[in-house]
Amino acid sequence: MNYLYKIFKFFIIIFIFLPAVSCNYSFKGASPPDGIKTIYIPTIRDESGFGLPSLGEDLTTLLKNKFINDNTLEYAEKTQADGMLNVVIKSFTDEALVVTGNETVSRRKVTITVSADFTNLRKQKNIWKRDFSNWGEYDSSTGGFSKRDEGVKSAEDKITDDILLEVISNW
């Protein structure tokens, strides 16, 4: 009986401590490059030629708010900032996604492509330059293009998430 108790005790210890020892999890979050604690984002220029007049301003506001809410970098004006994120909208497309049997477009897809340039203002050095592209879709069967804003908001949300993650991680 004493022998079985020792074996039982051994397995309990193994099952409790082995997973704890083998886990290699870190609570360290993403970190920006050394010396970058504040960021400036100028108004995003729209060079897409698509004709949505508020697209650049909407993307700028959304991106700034995501940085402020994320709190990894503090938002600052250019004269106070360590880094600058310059973004340009290169293209905007709106295309048919789902065509029904009677050749009616029931869903459409908008795609936004931007070029982003992240610069260390203190060292006057480019950190990275990347293109980002993301999409959103919307129902066009009932309202035609009137529901386009739903797809645009979805694409804006995704692309600003992509940019934020690239700035605060991947170092």
Complete DSSP assignment for 79-117: TT-SEEEEEEEEEEEEEEEEE-TTS-EEEEEEEEEEEEE
**The pLDDT of residue 24:** 40
Tokens describing residue 89: 């909208």
SS3 8: helix
Residue with tokens 């083998």: 22
Domain that holds residue 53: 31-168
- Domain-located, residue 57: yes
Query: Which parts of the chain are beta strand (E)?
Result: 38-40, 45-46, 74-75, 83-99, 105-120, 125-139
Helix (H) or strand (E) holding 150: helix 148-168
Q: Indicate which CATH number applies to the domain containing 117.
A: 3.40.50.10610
Decide if 20 is inside a domain: no
What are the tens digits of pLDDT across the range 45-64?
Answer: 999 999 899 999 999 999 99
Ranges of residues in the chain whose predicted pLDDT is under 50: 18-28
Indicate the number of domains in the chain. Answer: 1
pLDDT at residue 95 in the model: 95
pLDDT at 104: 86
Residue 58 domain-assigned (yes or no): yes
Provide φ and ψ at 78, rounded to 5°.
Answer: -55, -40
Q: Write down the pLDDT at residue 5.
A: 53
